[in-house]
A and B are shown apart, each in its own frame.
Chain A
Amino acid sequence: MSKKEKLLYPFYIISHPFDGFYEVRHREKGSVLVALFLVFLFGLSFSLNRRYAGFIVNVINPRTVNSYAEIISIFLAVLLFAAANWSVTCLTEGEGRFKDIITVIGYSLLPMVLTFIPATILSWFTAYGEEIIYYLLLLVSVVFFSILLLIGIMTIHNFGFGKTLFTLVLTFISLLLILFVLLLLISLINQVYLFFESIYTELILRI
């Protein structure tokens, strides 16, 4: 696959999700790099939307918008979801590899990448009563994303619809578990660190 083809493949998936994701899994048509790039673009457009959406529709305090933090947290969320989904589907005989899951998430984000910035620009020209178009645009892209993600997960793991939903519920549970364990780990490391720090202080003060 040429570079150009790889870059344009997400657009093919938008119109042919079943075939497209099948070929991601079985014919190596996907690219993790392109997927991560799409995640980055989504983070960027999401943050730009929060900061630059028109006054009429923008109810976000500009002082709370931090693009770095938002882009990084979106990356972390994608990683977390992928890890959770992978660990669940491994046990439920899903065929997808970790890189397939990342690819599916990244490629499914494309509709949102494509609409968030145009919607932001559109919001500069809308008044009350017309802002519904803006919200509709955002809603359609979010729904599109969810459908693509669902189809993608279904296809790469070779699941039925019911099993996909079931594993998604399990994914969210394991997501919470991962978060819990992470928090536990962080607090434990913190405790250990504090322990050694207090030993150090004691020694410094006594010697």
Chain B
Amino acid sequence: MKYKRKKYKKLYGYLTFVLALILSASTTVSADSALPYETYNFDYWEYVYYTPAAYVPESSLSGIDLGVGSLSNPQDLFVAADGKIYIADTGNNRILILNSDLTLYKVMENFDNNGSPDTFLNPYGVFVTGQNVIYVADMDHNRIIALHENGELIRIINNPVSEVLPDNFVFIPMKVTVDYANRVYVIVKNMFQGIMAFDENGSFTGFTGTIKVAISTYDKIWRRLSTKAQRARQVQFIPTEFTGVDMAPDGFVYATNIDTKGVQSVRRLNPKGQDVIKKKDGSLSGDLWYRLAGDYSGASRIVDIAYRDNGIYSIIDQTRGRIFTYDHEGNILYIFGGRGSQKGTFKNPVAIEAIGDVIMVLDAGRGEIMTFTAAEYGRLINEAVSLRFRGDESAAVEIWKKVLLLDENFELAYVGIGKSYLAAGENKMAMKYLKLGMDRTYYSIAFKRYRDDILKENLGSILTIGTLLFVGTGIILKIKRKGGTEHE
């Protein structure tokens, strides 16, 4: 009887196990396998590894959804401080203003230019200050327009005059941003000297963020060897153009540029116009690995940047439609998005904006705004990185542990936990985690402390053994020498 019951118990165990297997098989269809793109990241050795979804597509919004007809080649997107969303509907020569709940608020097609009505011609960029002053880069009218929401003109910036500008210079503004002191920064087409800066009166003050051209020794030798006629036909060494620009609340300008070598596509410009961005191991340009020829090949073509809170910023790659998010130290946090025709992929992404944990991408090819919301993985990372940025590393530890449950390859989380162990004096644990996070500097500190602890604890025995060895060898040598002399 007893034996039988045991057998039944066993059978029951098997049954539940099989049942659990069937159930788990039917429930493992997770959210990210339904996504049209892969979320991945690079580890310390620059190997690609796949992660859970950081962001999931929420909705797409077209002009027809808004009731204003389809958008024609829209080129810029901006979220104002009060939550209103501005779209430069370039092909239709208008600016759309949406409420924060993505309903239409207003369409701006014309404004009052000193009594006479005036219109836009290919408005390419839009920016709104904290005082709700709208700046429009009115590209084909060669001017920047600052105006109120009701169409009242504040000022026009055009025809910049300076000795440093060439005589045949045409002012074709593409993207515009304004800092807290009403200084205006403009990305101008075919202007390779940098971003043009204007003071609060609208007069040109100079270039900021000039990118220096790097000519390799190989190129120098090659040019030296070629003839004048050959040189004239060679590719000119010109600096790259800026593509997108965003303003951080602290007044630093974040700008993106095209880098065909895939080294640095993001710049953080201080008020003097110098690049002060932090890079980790050299690269800050989207994908580290890409095909050299064929479809979707070449280095990431970064076209816009969205500065988010707490030092986090996201950039968008036009070539492969991917969104890369970095923290203030240049660590890559997550990569998602892609090209395609499904919801959540893009045809021709041109602008990116962020409101809290929501990321919005403007697709010029389809005339749509794609909205992404943070999945748990992305939300946890954002939260932990924000806490770390504010200096609250101990509070971040619990979140890092949750991140590791979702993705045990996330090195930043190991470093975060390791540092907290280090601060708590648990040097051995700190060593373990910092090694997993590949942080040699902090590992070294933890290791030094650990080594000192062991030495301190065992100082007595080490000294005893040392003395014994020293005395012992001395005695043995003496005996040997004595034995030797006796032999003689």
Q: Which of A61, A63, A128 has the most CB of B within 10 A?
A: A128
**Are A63's CB and B45's CB within 8 A?**
yes
The bracket for how many chain A residues form the interface is under 10
Q: Is the CB of A127 closer than 8 A to any CB of chain B?
A: yes
Of the 9-residue stretches B112-120, B437-445, B470-478, which lies at the interface with chain A? B437-445
Tell me if A125 counts as interface (CB < 8 A to partner B).
yes
Within 8 A of B (CB), among A46-78: 55-56, 61, 63
Which of B440, B445, B451 lies at the interface centre, i.e. has the most chain A CB atoms within 10 A of its CB?
A: B440
Judging by beta carbons under 8 Å apart, are B45 and A61 in contact?
Answer: yes
Main secondary structure of the interface of A (DSSP, over half): loop
Question: How many interface residues does chain B have, given as a range?
Answer: 10 to 19
CB-defined contacts of B443 to chain A, threshold 8 Å: 55-56
Q: How many A-B residue pairs have CB under 8 A?
A: 20
User: Which residues, 101 to 151 on A, are CB-close (under 8 Å) to B?
Assistant: 125, 127-129
Chain A residues, Cβ within 8 Å of B441? 128
In the complex, B141 has a CB within 8 A of chain A: no
Q: Which residue of A lies closest to B431 (CB)?
A: A55
Give the shortest distance, in Å, between A158 (CB) and chain B (any CB): 42
Determine how close the nearest CB of chain B comes to the CB of A204; give it in whole angstroms: 34
* Given A55-B435, A55-B440, A56-B440, CB of A127 within 8 Å of CB of B45: no
How many Å lie between the Cα of A168 and that of B379 in the bound state? 62
Q: Which residues of A contact B451 (CB under 8 A)?
A: 125, 127
Complex interface: chain B residues within 8 A of A55 (CB): 435, 440, 443
Cβ distance A132 to chain B, nearest Cβ, rounded Å? 13
* Residues A128 and B440 in contact, CB atoms below 8 Å apart: yes
Residues of B within 8 A of A63 (CB): 45
The answer, yes or no, to whether B231 is at the interface (CB within 8 Å) is no
CA distance A200 to B440 in the complex (A): 58
CB B305 to nearest CB in A, in angstroms, measures 31
A129 to B444 Cα, complex, angstroms: 9
Residues on A with C-beta less than 8 A from B447 are 56, 127
Taking a contact as CB atoms under 8 Å apart, the answer to whether B435 and A127 are in contact is no
Highest count of chain A CB atoms <10 Å: which of B435, B443, B444, B451 = B444
Scoring B residues 438 to 480 as 1 if CB is less than 8 Å from chain A, else 0, what string do you get? 0011011101100100000000000000000000000000000
CA gap between A43 and B440 in the complex, in Å: 27
Which residue of A has the minimal Cβ distance to B441? A128
B444 contacts A128, C-beta separation under 8 Å:
yes
Q: Are B45 and A56 in contact (CB under 8 A)?
A: no
B49 to chain A, nearest CB (A): 13
Least CB separation from A59: chain B residue: B440
CB distance from A56 to the nearest CB of B (A): 6
- A131 and chain B: residue at smallest CB distance: B444
Bound: A129/B445 CA distance, A: 11
Residues of B within 8 A of A127 (CB): 444-445, 447-448, 451
Q: Whole-angstrom distance between the alpha carbons of A136 and B136 in the complex? A: 62
Question: Please, how many angstroms separate the alpha-carbon atoms of A196 and B445 in the complex?
Answer: 63
A128 partner residues in chain B, CB cutoff 8 A: 440-441, 444-445
The closest CB in chain B to the CB of A128 belongs to: B444
Chain A residues with CB under 8 A of B440: 55-56, 128
> Which residue of A55, A125, A129 has the most chain B CB atoms within 10 A of its CB atom?
A55
In the bound complex, CA of A63 to CA of B441 (Å):
22
Set of chain B residues within 8 Å of A125, measured between Cβ atoms: 451
Determine the distance from Cα of A55 to Cα of B448 in the docked complex, in whole angstroms: 13
Distance A125 CA – B448 CA, assembled complex (angstroms): 9
**CB-defined interface of B415-449 with A at 8 Å, one 1/0 digit per residue?**
00000000000000000000100001101110110
Taken together as a complex, chains A and B put the C-alpha atoms of A24 and B24 apart, in Å, by 73
Q: Across the interface, name the chain B residue whose C-beta is closest to A55.
A: B435
Besides A56-B440, A125-B451, A127-B447, 7 other A-B contacts (C-beta < 8 A) = A56-B443, A56-B447, A63-B45, A127-B444, A127-B451, A128-B441, A128-B445
Q: Can you show 14 pairs from A to B with CB atoms below 8 A apart? A: A55-B435, A55-B440, A56-B440, A56-B443, A56-B447, A61-B45, A63-B45, A127-B444, A127-B445, A127-B448, A127-B451, A128-B440, A128-B441, A128-B444
Using a CB–CB distance below 8 Å, which chain B residues touch chain A? 45, 435, 440-441, 443-445, 447-448, 451
The 10 closest A-B pairs by CB, nearest first: A128-B444, A127-B448, A127-B444, A61-B45, A127-B447, A56-B444, A55-B435, A56-B440, A55-B443, A55-B440
